[in-house]
Amino acid sequence: MKFQPLHFIPNWSRSKKQKGLCRNFSIVFALGSFLGLAIATTTSHSENATAAYPIAANLSNVTLRASKYKGGWDLQLKLAGQDKFPYKTEFTEFTGGNFIVQAINANAIDIGSASEIPPIFAVQSQGAVKIIASIKGPTVGQVVLVPKNSNAKKFTDLKGKKVGYVKATTAHYFLIKMLAQEGLTLKDVNAVPLTIPDGLSAFRRGDLDAWATYGYAIQQAQKDGAKVLKSAKNILSGNFTIVAAPSAIADPNKKAAIADFLCRIQKSQDWQASNIEAWSKNYAKAIGVDETFVLKDAKEGLKQRRSLRGQATQVLPISQQAIASQQDVADTFYRAGVIPTKVDVKPLWDGSFTNAINKCK
């Protein structure tokens, strides 16, 4: 596959039909993929709002522009009672991490979340983005699907077949890794990059022999009888990143707001882990998926995270382990010929929020 450079131009000028399709799907955390939706909601600061940790800054005139996925940060913060900000917040909805990175590069938002992968493509395209923290998330809900009438039993059965995937995302990465495990490369299949909505439509029409995807689009496809050929549960690191605009970090007041926001995310995650059924009920309603599916995946993901770290998901300051994990992903893309040159990911990481994250109680 030839590398196609990502051009960091906001991709929000979509048709109403396409926008409607995108709003029907959700992606867990930063399992990144395409098509940003300019659906912004604004929360004004209140007189009673207090910062999540003590900060010496004037936040009353600050507007923090944050990304969200459907049923994401804004819902989680509200359910946890962490949405009384001492600054204004604007949430813009996206369906994937690489468009969030594009929006940050275009100075359209200040903070967002993505998997390890979109920032790698940002480096390759000389985009302006910094990773300020990481989240250890679940790796469930990341699979290669085949249609109900498929005869494929193992990955080698896909040789020469049409396989959809979501470019510059975890799906792109684990497809490469799964193929490599069988001595194959992307050149051995007819790999087709598709957005989540377009991929689901193509899969349902029978245009794909297999589909590397993630999130609740999986359950949507399984309603039609789709089968899991292989899971990426033991392939992915589970590392997700919180990314910010360098210009926002350079602004002392906005930087203080970001630090406060990180603490609120941490607290909302703690609430979610302790109220998994309440969260699942509200999340399922927000994304239009059966609550049974959401609760099952949420419990499995929580169990997996606790087995790895002894605790639920939390916001973590940057670490050498997280940097090394992302570097391994970047090297995998280089060896696969997806990016033309080796990428050093270390300059992406900004440790200036470490103290604020550690002080969050």
257 and 128 in one domain? yes
* The last residue of a domain, from among 196, 211, 231: 231
Mapping DSSP to helix (H, G, I), strand (E, B) and coil, where does residue 34 land?
Answer: coil
244 and 124 in one domain? yes
- In this predicted model, what pLDDT tens digit does every residue of 280-334 receive, in sequence order? 999 989 888 788 878 887 888 777 666 655 455 589 999 999 999 999 999 999 9
C-alpha closest to that of 329 among 155, 162, 114: 114
* The last residue of a domain, from among 231, 263, 292: 231
- In this predicted model, what pLDDT tens digit does every residue of 26-37 receive, in sequence order? 333 333 333 333
- Please answer whether residues 87 and 305 qualify as being in contact, where contact means their C-beta atoms are separated by less than 8 angstroms: no
245 and 223 in one domain? no
21 and 111 in one domain? yes
282 and 204 in one domain? no
131 and 147 in one domain? no
52 and 151 in one domain? no
In a domain, residue 166? The reply is yes
Q: Which CATH number belongs to the domain containing residue 86 in this structure?
A: 3.40.190.10
- Please answer whether residues 101 and 115 qualify as being in contact, where contact means their C-beta atoms are separated by less than 8 angstroms: no
In a domain, residue 113? The reply is yes
In a domain, residue 11? The reply is no
CA distance 247 to 107: 8
292 and 152 in one domain? no
- In this predicted model, what pLDDT tens digit does every residue of 72-101 receive, in sequence order? 999 999 999 999 999 999 999 998 888 899
Q: How many CB atoms lie within 10 A of CB 227?
A: 16
Q: What is the DSSP string of 76-138?
A: HHHHTT----SSEEEEEEES-HHHHHHHHHTTS-SEEEEESHHHHHHHHTT---EEEEEEE--
In a domain, residue 3? The reply is no
Q: What is the pLDDT of residue 46?
A: 45
In a domain, residue 2? The reply is no
225 and 350 in one domain? no
134 and 38 in one domain? yes
Q: What is the pLDDT of residue 361?
A: 77
CA distance 166 to 161: 16
Residues of the chain falling short of pLDDT 70: 1-50, 53-57, 304-313
In the chain, count H helices and then E strands: 13, 12
* The last residue of a domain, from among 213, 231, 249: 231
What residues make up the domain containing 111? 16-139+238-359
Total domain count, the chain: 2
In a domain, residue 117? The reply is yes
Q: Where are the beta strands (DSSP E) in 111-256?
A: 111-115, 130-136, 142-146, 162-165, 190-193, 210-214, 227-231, 239-244
Radius of gyration from C-alpha coordinates of the chain: 20
In a domain, residue 189? The reply is yes
Identify the residue whose tokens are 């099952």: 296
In a domain, residue 272? The reply is yes
CA distance 194 to 175: 13
153 and 126 in one domain? no
132 and 36 in one domain? yes
